[in-house]
């Protein structure tokens, strides 16, 4: 971990073309990295900012009309629950 000699801010690795530079996030000061190994940037995303994705499989063509109708109703219920959760999160 290295700090900016100008402002003391944290310097993060950034790739410019094929070379690696350390760039200050506060003032923008940059220097060429002395070595290529050992530098990595990691970003942690808060749980509430993550996007939740539901994956559904399409009913097979051999499924009866009643099964298809039931699946549509289940998909719709899940959709409504998701929308309600998202609206609740946005209003907070």
pTM: 0.40
What domain range includes position 66? 51-91
Structural domain contains residue 63: yes
Show the DSSP H helices in 30-64 as ranges: none
Q: Which two tokens stand for residue 29?
A: 């000061």
Give dist(CA 73, CA 79) in Å, integer: 10
Give dist(CA 47, CA 85) in Å, integer: 14
Structural domain contains residue 27: yes
Structural domain contains residue 65: yes
Give dist(CA 45, CA 64) in Å, integer: 43
The predicted pLDDT at position 27 comes to 92
Structural domain contains residue 44: no
φ and ψ of 10, to 5 deg: -70, 135
Q: Which portions of the chain are predicted below pLDDT 50?
A: none
- How many domains in the chain? 2
Structural domain contains residue 73: yes
Are 60 and 87 found together in one domain?
A: yes
């Amino acid at each position: 971990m290295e700090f900016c000699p100008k402002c003391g801010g944290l310097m993060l690795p950034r790739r410019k073309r094929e070379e690696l530079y350390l760039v200050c996030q506060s003032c923008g000061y940059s220097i060429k990295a002395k070595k290529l190994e050992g530098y990595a940037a990691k970003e942690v995303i808060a749980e509430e900012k993550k996007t939740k994705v539901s994956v559904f499989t399409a009913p097979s063509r051999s499924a009866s009309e009643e099964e298809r109708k039931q699946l549509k109703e289940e998909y719709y219920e899940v959709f409504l629950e998701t929308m309600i959760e998202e609206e609740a999160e946005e209003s907070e």
